A = this chain, B = another copy of it.
Amino acid sequence: MQPLALGLDIGGTSTRAVVIDGSGRRLGTGRAAGANVTSHALDTALEAMRAALTAALASVSAASVGAAVIGTAGDHNLTRPEVASAVDALWASLGLTCSYTVVADATVAFVAGTPAPDGTLVLSGTGAISARFTDRRPDQLFDGHGWLLGDLGSGFWIGREAVRSTLAALDRGEQPGPLGRAVVQTLLGRASFSPSRPVVNEIVLAVHTRPPVALSALAPLVTADAGADPEADRILAAAAGHLLAAAAAVRSPAEATPIVLAGSLLTGDTPLAALVRSGLASRWPDAPVGLALDGAAGAAWLAARALNPSGADRLHATLFG
């Protein structure tokens, strides 16, 4: 019997696992909470990994898994000895006997979008990063510095710009437009208000009572007002500009390799995705554009590819086609 391949994608929003066979059938899937593989959050990450893996392995024999790939942000953390030994123990407790390879979350996103070894990843979700891949390894990254320092064009960035735009209107004594009213409604829970410093102070306070990344929850308000509020259009155009500049920083003008779009803001049918696609098409008209919709399957494909390199292209078409 052909060995199975296991993929695990540990993300900030969710942790997903999938087991596939050599023909690309998904034999088991699992989903758990998001996790960060840092020492202070290790127990939480291990619990999420255990939950996702247990579900994915529910109806297959763990011993029949012949290869596994784990994708995670901060992949260097997962290979630190004290973390690796905890993962090894979890691995053995689930009956898994194969070894596993750890790669960056960007890598499983890239391979989920293309079977090609070289190309460009442009990601915008809660965070934002662009990367040039050579032989399926990220050999140049741009941004991905986190909300405090970067992630320009991410959901966090767009949400914060929405609040900034609202505050600027209020500071000018102007009634905000549709986007600003939606921001006030979401943050303060009311539709009626007059532009005043107390309202400004309330908004600032409301934002500060939540974790900063919660600002990304306001990004959908900007998406919703695209075409209806010039401020929403301005913010989305600026976000697309940041993402296109990041792509240009890691991709030469003449390149024709695939471009993979990843992250919730670029894989859906959003105005931001349309702007980014249009910008990419005008700069790199010959580049095929793929979507990274299933990072866990990307990880599983990498594992399956290690077991059977010659069937990898056909497997990719089956898994993601």
Interface of A toward B, CB cutoff 8 Å: 76, 140-143, 145-146, 148-150, 160, 163-164, 167, 171-173, 197, 200-201, 204, 207-208, 212, 249
Contact of A142 (CB < 8 Å), options: B146, B150, B171, B249: B171
Contact B249 A140 (CB under 8 A): no
A207, B48: Cα distance in complex, Å: 27
Give 5 closest A-B pairs by Cβ, nearest first: A142-B171, A145-B204, A145-B167, A141-B197, A149-B163
CB–CB A164/B148 < 8 A: no
Given known A-B contacts A141-B197, A201-B76, A249 and B171 have beta carbons under 8 A apart: yes
Residues of B with C-beta under 8 A to A171: 140-143, 249
Inter-subunit contact A200/B145 (CB<8 Å):
yes
**Closest B residue, CB atoms, query A77:** B201
- Chain B residues near A172 (CB, 8 Å)? 142, 249
Shortest C-beta distance, A211 to chain B (Å), equals 10
Q: Which residues of B contact A173 (CB under 8 A)?
A: 140
Known: A140-B173, A172-B249, A249-B172. A160 touches B167 (CB 8 A): no
Instruction: Indicate if the CB atoms of A164 and B140 lie closer than 8 Å.
Output: no
Query: Is the pair B201, A148 in contact by a Cβ cutoff of 8 Å?
Result: no
- Tell me if A146 and B201 are in contact (CB < 8 A): no
